[in-house]
Amino acid sequence: MGFEGIGASVRRKEDVRFLSGKGNYTDDIDRPGQLYAYIKRADRPHAKIGGIDTAAASAAPGVVRVFTGADMAAENIGGIPCGWQLHNQDGSPMAEPPHPALAVGKVRHVGDPVAVVIAATKQQAKDAAELLAIDYTDLPAVANLKDAVAAGAAEVHDGVAGNICYDWAIGDKAVVDGVFAGAKHVVKLDLVNNRLIPNAMEPRVAIGDYDTSSGDFTLYTTSQNPHVIRLLMGAFVLHIPENKLRVVAPDVGGGFGSKIYHYAEEAIVTWAAGKVRRPVKWTAERSESFMSDAHGRDHVSTAEMALDAEGHFLGLRIVTLANMGAYLSTFAPAVPTYLYATLLAGVYKTPVIYCNVKAVFTNTVPVDAYRGAGRPEATYLLERLIDVIAHDTGLDKIELRRKNFIPADAFPYQTPVALEYDSGDYQTTLKVGLKNAGWDGFEARRTEARSRGKLRGIGISTYVEACGIAPSAVVGSLGARAGLYEVAEIRVHPTGSVTVFTGTHSHGQGHETTLAQLVVSQLGVPFDQVEVVHGDTAKIPFGMGTYGSRSLAVGGSAMVKAMDKVIAKGKKIAAHLMEAAVEDIEFKDNVFTVAGTDKSKTLTDISLAAYVPHNYPIEELEPGLDETAFYDPKNFTFPGGCHIAEVEIDPETGVVEMVNFTAVDDVGRVINPMIVEGQVQGGVAQGIGQALMENCNYDQSGQLLSGSFMDYTMPRANDIPNMSVATENTMCTHNPLGSKGCGEVGAIGSPPAVINAVVDALKDYGVRHLDMPATGAKLWSIIQAATPRMAAE
């Protein structure tokens, strides 16, 4: 078997079942007597609903029931709640308009659920839905940020003036303005962070099940956090007490954030199952996913940096408009504020920062956290701005970064925007990144490419991110309506094998492997005798799920604590069995020994004694060897690093080819290097997608133009170059593992590196900045526009 503990690239346990088609996804589940739900969605962005005639649909073959928003409202079913409450600059709470599960009175985006048809087959439900007569009166819609904040814009929600959800700020504007007034240089950049559609491979599915004998509800759902769904849906929407509601999220085929949130469909099928007293299943079609899964990003910003003559950053001033879509999704308000504005120091010593964020409602699908969530937006803004500073001032872009880095000896480092970074070494990740990418030899490659008629460019991004979400008290003070600790139960079975019950959720990350490796290292139990259980509120203790690269840093730390308890109890049992003092018992590699003697007991001896307590200190100690620990992190974790992209542009067509990508990340302690490499590669692929291809496109009227894979450009394997992925790690100082997190770094660090490379490739064309995605069509227009000017020069 070889070494299978912390640091080993153990093959992923779960892949055997995934790759052999034996995964158990939500859509693989069918309940006896199951009915099917089809959700009728708005085909228009904004309209008043005069009425819905359900008679014909209700009478259609196979139809059991048809429900509309009025039916849910009549039973006092709550709206879909938002998990964060932010406050405006003036202290008043953000606008939090109602978000009914099925539309009441109005529809506000294409895809907004209007009615549900429940029938014996999917086909019959869909047939009947065509018979619904919905009396719409179209209203003017706002489909993008600029239109939504324009004077006289149509209002998405009555009474939400100017479509502003909140107007929030961080930093002291007067101080920052003062710094700008006295600065030698001020460099300004307007930029857009393009809207993305997550497109997890598995579409969302929800099955509501109602047990007529016990009155218990079960929801099977494609979720990253079943306990969060149980809490939100049970307590706020359906008023089902938690003891009567079980939420199961089995194998989940990718989430990237989009499966964190509590969605209307989950509430609809669970509620409907109770009404029809039979299981109700809904499976999203791919086109439904495009118009109902929460989208990501979508910022419009103006960024300004004040500098001294040598290029030291003196102050940063930012104004951002962030699109919320038509309703507030679970995490949405936190993304452009606490996950974005607090990261604007980046890896730099910028002493003062001011950022104003206006969150804006539009007639589009709700926007929420998507792989990276706020940190990619912050990183893109900073790393583009720095390249533009280099462009405008003539300073070297590497020197500029180096000179402004927070030095390795400055940790813990308090930024001016609330965060305290615990560790990092940005000079080292930069140095290794430049070396691995062959930065110094680049000009020769540029020249060689030119001989082939190609424009070659290189771009860099040096970044930090905040993950391992999050200290409960801190996020509570920032408006979170939940705690963000994690929990683990370590159950040592009588014969010494172990089951781990984790509150985190694996939807592709490989927890069944990584978390098992922690047990191998700490308890010395062989890898194949460790099972990881997640995703079922009936099995696992109350945990918060997986997002924000938190599973290892927070969930793994809970496991370490629980295993510490197992060892502590084991020592007491061992002391009893070996007639020694507890203080003299040592535990290592699965064996308890009496220090200085050859007396020893294996963990199996101890667990057997614990469950068969014939010879046992029963007066002082409970039987069993099963410990639970909750871990509330002391701080965020701060992975960081250096990403370098190299591109070639075909000047005749504008098409960009990614030719090299180098990532050097500091993710803290690495448990499984192969999994870390895979996570970075996947994140970088998504970052390249955002930078070069992906774009959610609404037309002016609010119709979704990129509503299928025919028009939404997903990166494909052959769009992604071979990558050099390495780590240069400093340890997280405040959790027992030293791990920081690796799930999002790829998507955070890479987009600005790619765009910086594209801009570098076009440097002879007078390009200072361009917005993502850098498609062939866009670059061709830029090249076209510049060519006559170049010819004239």
Closer to another protein by Cβ: residue 18 or 780: 780
CB of 112 to another protein, least distance (A): 20
Specify the stretch interacting with another protein by CB under 8 A; choose among 9-17, 110-118, 121-129, 749-757. 121-129
What is the C-alpha to C-alpha distance for residues 704 and 365, in angstroms, rounded to an integer? 9
Alpha helices, H only, 478-525: 511-523
Out of 92, 615, 781, 787, point to the residue binding another protein (CB under 8 A). Answer: 781
Where helices occur in 592-659 by DSSP H, the ranges are 603-611
CA distance 569 to 582: 10
Question: Which position among 24, 89, 92, 123 is part of the footprint of another protein (CB under 8 A)?
Answer: 123
Does 582 sit near another protein (CB under 8 A)? no
Is 776 a binding residue for another protein by CB under 8 A? The answer is yes
Minimum distance from CB of 194 to another protein (Å)? 13
From candidates 712, 727, 761, 772, binder to another protein by CB under 8 A: 712
Regarding 653 and contact with another protein (CB under 8 A), the answer is: yes
Residue 490 burial (CB count, 10 A): 30
Residue 74, SS3 per DSSP: helix
Residue at 212: amino acid letter: T
Cβ nearer to another protein, comparing 535 with 654: 654
The full length of the chain comes to: 793
Q: How far is the CB of 49 from another protein (least distance, A)?
A: 23
Closest CA to 468 of 638, 276, 310, 325: 638
Q: Which residues pair with 647 in a beta bridge?
A: 457, 658
* Closer Cβ to another protein, 174 or 710, answer by number: 710
- Among 681, 713, 724, 733, the residue binding another protein under the rule CB under 8 A is 713
What is the dihedral sign for C-alpha 76, 289, 30, 129? Answer: positive
Q: 3 or 709: whose CB is closer to another protein?
A: 709
3-state secondary structure of 182: coil
Which CB sits closer to another protein, 624 or 776?
776
Residue 701 interacting with another protein (CB under 8 A): no
Taken in order 632, 532, 373, 79, the sign of the CA dihedral is negative
Q: 714, 764, 789, 790: which one contacts another protein (CB under 8 A)?
A: 714
| Residue 284 to residue 273: CA distance in whole angstroms | 18
Which of 34, 88, 287, 499 binds another protein (CB under 8 A)? It is 287
In the complex, minimum distance from the CB of residue 130 to another protein, in angstroms, rounded to a whole number: 8
Residue 711 is a binding residue for another protein (CB under 8 A): yes
Q: Which stretch binds another protein (CB under 8 A): 119-127, 291-299, 400-408, 479-487?
A: 119-127
The one segment of 346-354, 546-554, 597-605, 773-781 that binds another protein by CB under 8 A: 773-781
∠ Cα 225 554 405 (to 5°): 115
Nearer to another protein, 114 or 585 (CB): 114
Shortest Å distance, C-beta 776 to another protein: 7
Which residue's CB is nearer to another protein, number 526 or number 721?
721
Tell the residue number behind the tokens 């499984």, with chain if given.
Answer: 672
Q: How far is the CB of 467 from another protein (least distance, A)?
A: 31
Q: Segment near another protein (CB under 8 A), from 217-225, 256-264, 355-363, 776-784?
A: 776-784
Distance (Å, whole) CA 157 – CA 164: 10
CB of 693: closest distance to another protein in angstroms?
A: 6
Q: Which of 58, 472, 697, 724 binds another protein (CB under 8 A)?
A: 697
CA 21 → CA 14, 16, 17, 28, 374, distances in Å?
11, 9, 6, 11, 35
The binder of another protein chosen from 584, 586, 775, 786 (CB under 8 A): 775
For 291, residues 6+ apart whose C-beta sits below 8 A from its C-beta are 41, 109, 110, 111, 365, 704, 707
Residue 178: left if φ>0, alpha if ψ -120 to 50, beta else—which one? Answer: alpha
CB of 744 to another protein, least distance (A): 25
Separation of alpha carbons 385 and 734, rounded Å? 32
CB 592 within 8 A of CB 586: yes
The strand pair at 313-325 and 352-361 is best described as: parallel
What is the total count of residues that contact another protein (CB under 8 A)?
22
Tokens of 429: 């990740």
Residue from 9, 706, 724, 733 that binds another protein (CB under 8 A)? 706
Site membership for another protein, residue 399 (CB under 8 A): no
Residue from 705, 764, 766, 768 in contact with another protein (CB under 8 A): 705
- Residue 703 binding another protein, by CB under 8 A: no
Q: Binding to another protein by residue 536, rule CB under 8 A?
A: no
User: Which residue type occupies 238?
Assistant: L
Q: Taking CB under 8 A as the rule, does residue 780 contact another protein?
A: yes
Burial letters for 578-589: b for 16+ Cβ neighbours within 10 Å, e otherwise? bebeeebbebee
* Interaction site with another protein (CB under 8 A): 123, 126-127, 287, 652-653, 693, 697, 705-706, 709-714, 775-777, 780-781, 784
